[in-house]
Structure 1
Amino acid sequence: MVERRGGKDRMRILVTGASGLIGGELCARLAARGHAVTALVHRRHQILDNHGRPLPSRAEGPPPAPGELVTRAGDVRAENLGLAAPPAIDLIVHSAAVTAFDAEPALYEAVNIGGTRAALAVAQTSGAALLHVSTAYVCGRTDGPIAPGFIGQAFTNGYEASKARAEALVRAGPVPHAVARPSVVVGDWAQGRISRFENIYMISKLIAEGRVKTLPAASGATLDLVPIDHVITGLLTMCERFADFTGQTVHLVAHTPTPVPAIGEAMARARVGTPDFISPDAFSAAALPPREARWHAAAAALYTAYLLRAPAFEAGHPLIPACPPTDSAWLDRLIGFALASGFVKEPLSPSAADPTQRPPPPRPAS
């Protein structure tokens, strides 16, 4: 039941993937705006906002009141999302997914495909709508203009392919739905702040620490880096004005994509290493120094496909504020925050860069 208070609709919203980067900040903003938020968690009940602050919540008792956050243990791989009974909700925001680029196919199938199927079933049983959080990179290897509803045919990794299949399930089902497609989610626009460092941050760390220097990059290649606050604003708008978005797919992407060389230039300005981007035809992993070759195989190679393409995501929706400028000053703020937080450190000496210590598993936007 949608409740109207003070001229504003207050909804009962279930968020899957609530302990994730997007899910945590979205829960914080939804509760702050007066919605009754149920956060589906798997193991960890503590939900963090984008400042890394724990959100006030409880794990026991009745459903949430307006403005309250309640966590519920569940599992998107299970029937009814692992909940004892279908919840009384108006909307599911389905953001749970395995986002690693190198997961086993069975895991993508169970979580990204099976989890979407389970979320649809719960929405149908509860009479709720579904806002599905996908990724702009379901375009796969396609370059050039990308319309919001476009899905590619050739994908770079199992993550992209699984998200494309999940979208197809959502569109084919009987549940009222909308699809949000963030691109590569990074720090907020004002300060570059982010609660956890994933995706492009990992390859930047390898460069800054001197583990990787030479990378293949196509001429004209870009990365669509989007501030997390723009993504959250878009999701909030889609939640609160869901009827205006029903059946639509919306790109939540950068104001302008970032040319790959601009990332190296920003790192050089911050004095945290300068990558050598070379033509893919001239690049050979086997020709790299042994230590760098090991790091490239262990981690960097998972990201390099994103340095070889230039999708131009068609963005802009009359109800969603435009993304602020994703310019060089913003890149400097992103790197500055990573430095201030201690995530990116001074380059290591060749003897200190131990190739036996693997970095954390890589993760993309959503």
Structure 2
Amino acid sequence: MTRILVTGASGLIGWHAALALAARGHAVRANGRDAAALARLRALAATASADGGRGRSGRLDTVAADLAEAPLDLLLAGVGTVVHCAARSSPWGPAAAFERDNVHATRRLLAAARAAGVRRFVHLGSPSIYFRFADQFDVGEDFLPPRRWITDYARSKWESELAVREAVAAGLPALVLRPRAVFGPGDRAILPRILAVAARGRFPLVGGGRARIDVSCVDNIADAIVCAVENAVPTDGRAFNLSNGAPVTVRELLEMLFAALAMDVRLRHVPRALAVAAAGVAETVARLRPGCPEPPLTRYGIGVIGWSQTLDISRARRELGWEPRIDVREGLARYAAAWRAGETPR
């Protein structure tokens, strides 16, 4: 049995993808930079296998390695499929760090995968590339990059996709998944940022919270990854949008989140222009501080909750044979249960 390498397995999507693939009977090699998190993942997979009782669970081993600099030949030994979830995911940070972790590391892994004879490469991209300070509905996968990127993260994710296309042209079968706003137990990027702002008992409702947005329960994204690995799917480098497929307003999302966590948070209307201006000031101040720490508000963050953006996921449904099964309310309930149990970052 050939192995499936899942990179970024100490992060949200990679963690859940590794467990889902192992539960389907695949031999999984889980890679990440956080050795302690990988040890917890290995123990959890072993427990799930022992409790399963159906003999379906596969093996899961872990390898801690930095893809930007570690030797990759041993990591890819015996690997037939790569699921590349590893990335620096943040709206803030130094450009060089995003270049290193999202572009350089991806290029190294693609080259090593080609050399190892990998038969399928599943790359996790990002719909952050679509960002605009404008309402956008039913956005498809066709894309032209903007003249100026709002974040180095979005730029680096697009450049990583271009690297995948180059590898496909050189003979590596690959596809790209673009999951939108993924949340769930283990989330360190989206809900913790919202909760950090809400900890003061109030939250800015940009534009009255009327923007309609797509989000993704991590279990649905893990299902999509399983489909991309197991099904007869196109491997010509094409991209697939992923989300829950049921847009909600920002107000609805926040109300469901705070209700699930039993938090009393006052939603305060803030005009979009004022919120963007305040975030711009916060970014300027942050850049003047030692270490350039992430400000509590960024223009990208305001834009995400201030303007509508929904995705067309019909291609994923049609060509991957995938359908979201966990709705937003249930996904938030699962996150809340893990949050109360202290099993997810706060």
TM range (shorter): 0.7 to 0.9
What is the one-letter code of the residue matched to 1:213?
F
What is the one-letter code of the residue matched to 2:311?
F
Residue correspondence of structure 1 range 149-168 to structure 2 within 5 A:
149-153=142-146, 154-168=148-162
Counterpart of 1:108?
98
Residue correspondence of structure 1 range 138-287 to structure 2 within 5 A:
138-141=129-132, 143-153=136-146, 154-173=148-167, 174=170, 175-187=172-184, 194=185, 196-210=186-200, 213-217=203-207, 220-241=210-231, 243-247=232-236, 248-266=238-256, 269=259, 270-283=262-275, 285=278
C-alpha contact 1:217 1:260 (8 A) present in aligned 2 = no
* Aligned counterpart for 2:10 among listed residues 11, 19, 27: 19
Residue correspondence of structure 1 range 48-87 to structure 2 within 5 A:
54-56=44-46, 67-78=58-69, 80-81=71-72, 83-84=73-74, 86-87=76-77
Per the alignment, in what secondary structure is the counterpart of residue 123 of structure 2?
Answer: strand
C-alpha contact 2:30 2:60 (8 A) present in aligned 1 = yes
* Aligned counterpart for 2:22 among listed residues 26, 31, 49: 31
C-alpha contact 1:214 1:278 (8 A) present in aligned 2 = yes
Counterpart of 2:308?
310
- How large is the RMSD of aligned CA atoms in angstroms? 3.4
Counterpart Cα distance in 2 of 1:275 and 1:199: 21
Per the alignment, in what secondary structure is the counterpart of residue 238 of structure 1?
Answer: helix
What is the one-letter code of the residue matched to 1:180?
L
TM-score, length-normalised on structure 2? 0.77
Counterpart Cα distance in 2 of 1:76 and 1:47: 15
Seen in structure 2, the aligned counterparts of structure 1 residues 266 and 28 have a Cα distance that, compared at 3 Å, is: closer
Residue correspondence of structure 1 range 334-345 to structure 2 within 5 A:
336-337=336-337, 340-341=340-341
TM-score, length-normalised on structure 1? 0.74
TM-fit CA distance, 1:315: 0.3
TM-fit CA distance, 1:254: 1.8
Counterpart Cα distance in 2 of 1:24 and 1:323: 18
Q: Is 2:48 aligned against 1:47?
A: no
Once the two structures are superposed, what CA deviation does each residue of 1:42-89 show, in whole Å capped at 9, x if it has no partner?
340543789x963339xxxxxxxx9211222322112643x5575221
Gaps of 5+ in 2: 48-56, 287-293
What is the one-letter code of the residue matched to 1:281?
A
* Aligned counterpart for 2:117 among listed residues 113, 121, 127: 127
How many residue pairs get aligned? The number is 311
Once the two structures are superposed, what CA deviation does each residue of 1:207-234 show, in whole Å capped at 9, x if it has no partner?
4321653353377423321111110000
C-alpha contact 1:140 1:152 (8 A) present in aligned 2 = no
Gaps of 5+ in 1: 4-10, 58-65, 188-193, 345-358, 361-366
Percent identity over the alignment is 25
C-alpha contact 1:42 1:73 (8 A) present in aligned 2 = yes
Counterpart Cα distance in 1 of 2:326 and 2:34: 37
TM-fit CA distance, 1:112: 0.2
C-alpha contact 1:267 1:273 (8 A) present in aligned 2 = no
**After alignment, is 25-34 or 176-185 more displaced?**
25-34
